[in-house]
Structure 1
């Protein structure tokens, strides 16, 4: 049946479908309209044309039913899409307004970030300055302590050197005195012996005076022997003095050699101490550098990492220490 035939019974605007099927009185009005039009034809079964007209009207009523039902189903389908469309538009609305909110607040957000950055830089600068002052103070104290330590060590070394020199000088003096005394005692003994022998020779000569002729030769021999022995004694005394002088000189040379060895030992000890200090300083610097690198590997910048290492070295961080 043509659409014009259906419209003879009912005409509904598409925008009105929802109102028609949500309000029974409106729907009843449309049904009454269709009923009125359908029953407006007087039934006449006497002719084929009349009978055909009755069938056509009944068919139009069926088509009107299908037409109305299709309109309702189409509207229901549209209504089922509404929640999805509303959700999509709701999400779009939230995203748009969130973006607008962020756009509106962005200058304030940037300003706050800039203030935080300025505050962080100021704090870092203050901490770095404080740390630099502390490091400088610690360095000055360390230098003063090193100078004081070196001064005391030098005073001790000088005192020990003077004491050693005095001991060595006393040892040399005593050795020289002992050698001189021994030489004098030995020379005196030789002289006394020579005097005794000379006296004995003189007495013997006097005793032999009465027998001079017989003993003249013996007296001459005795006198010659005495002279020879005296010369030998004097020579032995001279040799003893020379030996004592050589001993004293050797003792002085040994004392000087001992002093040189002591100075060399002291210089070696001082050099070893300086090497130990340098090695310790280098080791501490290496350990601090490794700790600094590890902290920077966690995301800290160099200044922040230095601040952490310095705080640990100063024992400002509880339960944490660097093992050197």
Structure 2
């Protein structure tokens, strides 16, 4: 850059040189030194015009330098835009080339990961087959055993030993569940058989008692009616005999009266027999209603006991799930719940 710089020579400067590192500071410093060294006199008309002319030239120099800066900026921006575009090409093309080169490895690793995950999922499925959240029946356990055999038939490759351990453990557990399910079924069938026999025996006993009661009530009613009729007839005969002895002269009238009395006595006897029969029927009906009421009460009580049993079983199963979830073996959990339910564990109870 030239050593001497005036306001008149600013426009001759090269923009790239001015806006090189340290260039602006050099130019502005020289202009400041040049302008401040000028003899300026504001006391005369000519001096004031000279000052205004210098200020105008300073403003023109500022505009010229600013325009140079814009020119350099636009040139630099074009270079930056071109470089950025080239960078994008580099990134896109070389990323594509990298992915193209790496694709066989990625595909292999994905296939390998899928293969390993498939083996691991199958092993987890084998292990899960022996886990139950409920007491399974024989059909459920048998289906699990068939599924276990199907899963184990696959080729586990390097996971073969691990799969074998899982298969053997699940097989042992399923066999234990099968035995337990069979024992539960046999126990339930025996309990149902005994309950059916007991219910039938109870029904026969109640029926026999009902028939005996009805027969006894009918006999007692018939006996009362017979005694009442005999007593009425005896009383009438005695009355007639007393009248016959007291009024022999009225023998014909007494005979007629006796016939009337006998007819009345017969009617009363018939009426008494009818009343006895009606009383018998009422007694039998009352007994039937009592038996029906007693049967309804027994059925309601049986339903209540069954509901209570189901409720306690549900509560016990929930407690068992919690104990198993806490890490306790299922068989031990059942034993603990049974001991608590029977009151054999002090200070511990189950809230039904």
Tell me the TM-score normalized by structure 1.
Answer: 0.48
Considering only CA atoms, is the larger Rg found in Structure 1 or Structure 2?
A: 1
- Greater relative contact order (CA < 8 Å, ≥ 6 in sequence): 1
Tell me the TM-score normalized by structure 2.
Answer: 0.45
